[in-house]
A and B are shown apart, each in its own frame.
Chain A
């Protein structure tokens, strides 16, 4: 009820509140009159009926005003209609002043309390909204940090190599020229992959970090991702282990494919020499679990806690080959989070593994 009320403009909210209050008061009067007509004795019950409706009004109108106004009105109306002498204001009859006083106090207190409650729940909602916004901001900041670091390196490579070629190609031998062009090609390919990554993220709705999902077959997405990676790295092998049962879950297939590609490429690049990666899919009643496991050097202990926040990853042995894990992982995290899934990176006995989960659709909505 309140959520609906908040969507309206302030003027409409007031109009709504007035109509609502009038309606409630009419109903209360109606019920009370019937009660009064048939029972006629216990006017305290009539007071209770009015108090009940004051609570309802306070909960469903904007601000304190309507609740308090209705409670004051009720006291006068109660005195006028339901106490002896009927249809006359009389504050002096024995016992009545106390009833009125207590009723006024109760009504005012309740209406203030409930209005306060309504305001508070509004504030909590706003707070939550602000927190969610801050999360989105943080993700964007992480991405930007990763981008500015990761894009500069290959660009300097391309600019450096190409200027070397234009300035000195006359004195170079073919092997040197080929080397330079190959370097440029490598950097450009890498840049392209990154840009592709960033473009996929634009599929995520910027305001509330949501995505458009379709029911997709897990084995198709996994298979396609593995095939793309194998095409790019012909000397490597990806072992896909997928359950024999067909698993269909809601996802944005292009985004999830990107996550798997990123994790597989990271595994191939950073694991050291061994070019074997396992991609394991497991089905649980609520989730589908994807594990990308390599058999290399593992993740350095001190990096484990900051894998997904966009700071560059540079183990000491061969720092220059290892660019780009920054953006890749931030993007994975962004995508998986947008799917209401989780992602972690950890070490196992013989190397590193990344595990991400995607929630299944609930049975009844299938």
Chain B
């Protein structure tokens, strides 16, 4: 890597700032830290980072407002850092355009994986032609799905749902995002239809639907599909 990637870390806790920036530095990123929302907003505009890590619980401005303001002028990948019990905040942030979230306390490996996934998605402008992970392969052009080399038959909705997740593999998609993409923006908020379709897909592609290997549930938030190995 010739030039270092810039990471902006907006987080009020000094300890977390210290260890995250130390670790990211070791892994070849250049880290700038901001301890308040205002500082974060001005830094985001001045240094144009490649990725932003944003804590939702900031002392001055609500994290979601910071997110909204940045999204007004930029599509920089933003990863939310939040506490686990507040799933509403996470869903709101994701629906507002955050790329992913990570739950405190997080392992550093998990953080690195999230950063890599988000950066990759932000760079690849062209859609992938295939998806492959473990024994599952999807050919987006031919609209075919193979498990262990054997073709799997899905209904129209199931296929759309699975490919939507596969195109965003590694990223979490909220129920709202999935529902409005597949059933349109005016679908009612009851997501049972989504659960039922997901259950059917799992019965076709997973060995044990209750211990999924490809499509994971993020409770109260949405679904995340195993990372595409072709990326």
Q: Do A220 and B217 form a contact, CB below 8 Å, given A192-B105, A227-B211?
A: yes
Report the Cα distance A242→B209, complex, angstroms.
8
Q: Which residues of A contact B218 (CB under 8 A)?
A: 224
**0/1 string, B35-65, CB within 8 A of A gives 1:** 0000000000000000000000000000000
Q: Which residues of A contact B217 (CB under 8 A)?
A: 220-221, 223-224
Q: Do A254 and B210 form a contact, CB below 8 Å, given A220-B219, A248-B195?
A: no
Q: Do A219 and B199 form a contact, CB below 8 Å, given A203-B85, A254-B87, A281-B210?
A: yes
How many residues on B have C-beta within 8 angstroms of the other chain's C-beta atoms?
Answer: 22
* Residue in chain B with minimal CB distance to A246: B199
Q: Which residues of B contact A223 (CB under 8 A)?
A: 209-212, 216-217
Within 8 A of A (CB), among B192-228: 192, 195-196, 198-199, 202-203, 208-212, 216-220
**0/1 string, A145-172, CB within 8 A of B gives 1:** 0000000000000000000000000000
Q: Which residues of A contact B219 (CB under 8 A)?
A: 220-221, 224, 253-254, 257
Report the Cα distance A203→B202, complex, angstroms.
30
**0/1 string, B82-109, CB within 8 A of A gives 1:** 0111010000000000000000010000
Counting chain A residues whose Cβ lies within 8 A of the other chain, the interface size class is 20 to 34
A22 within 8 Å of B (CB atoms)? no
Report the Cα distance A258→B220, complex, angstroms.
13
Within 8 A of B (CB), among A81-114: none
A332 within 8 Å of B (CB atoms)? no
Q: Which residues of B contact A217 (CB under 8 A)?
A: 195, 198-199
Contact status A219-B220, CB under 8 Å = no
Contact with B192, one of A199, A215, A219, A221 (Cβ below 8 angstroms): A215
Within 8 A of A (CB), among B165-213: 192, 195-196, 198-199, 202-203, 208-212
Closest CB-CB distance, B19 to chain A, in whole Å? 13
A196 within 8 Å of B (CB atoms)? yes
* Residue in chain A with minimal CB distance to B190: A215
**5 A-B pairs closest in CB distance:** A242-B210, A220-B217, A219-B210, A246-B199, A240-B210
Q: Given A199-B83, A246-B195, 4 more contacts at CB 8 Å?
A: A196-B85, A220-B217, A224-B219, A246-B196
Residues of A within 8 A of B (CB): 192, 196, 199-200, 202-203, 215-217, 219-224, 226-227, 238, 240-242, 244, 246, 248, 253-254, 257, 281
